[in-house]
Amino acid sequence: MKQVTYPRSSLDSEPYWEGCRSGELRYQHCTSCGSVVFHPRALCPYCLHDTLEWKASAGRGRVYSYSVQHVPLRPDAGAYAPRVLGIAEVDEGFHMFAEFLADDPEQVAIGDPLEVVFVDVADDLVLPKFRVGAK
């Protein structure tokens, strides 16, 4: 059976992953053009300057898009379905793909409030997920 693969850290993304391990959702801000940048990278995709600084998000946002996954990724993960996967529109101005944690996956709706939570999923890997219905 194929093992689950997890994201790998790189020189550009290590501050992001370190933030996750310490319970902080980080994103980049370009000091040259003022753009919010997410996912982590070496250059601003809007002005191509390397003047990116790291900032901490408050971890709040809204459901931008989502899908309820009814088929588990692996046969041995049957209890882990259904689950909600989607795009969070984070208040600081970026969008990110994540799992949404909902009491009832069938009741999730576009625009629902979200709050980030951090979940240990493997040795030295903490993933940001979003709790649906945050106030």
In the chain, what's the furthest Cα-to-Cα distance? 49
Segment 61-120, tens digit of pLDDT = 999 999 998 877 666 655 667 889 999 999 999 999 999 999 999 999 999 999 999 999
Low-confidence winner among 2-11, 54-63, 89-98 (lowest mean pLDDT)? 2-11
Q: Where in the chain is the domain with CATH 2.40.50?
A: 58-135
Please tell me the distance from the alpha carbon of residue 46 to that of residue 52, in angstroms, as a whole number. 11
Predicted confidence (pLDDT) at residue 42 exceeds the cutoff of 70: yes
Predicted confidence band of residue 1 (pLDDT cuts 50, 70, 90): very low
Do 113 and 62 form a contact (C-beta atoms < 8 A)? yes
Domain covering 58-135 in this structure, CATH number? 2.40.50
Whole-model pTM: value is: 0.88
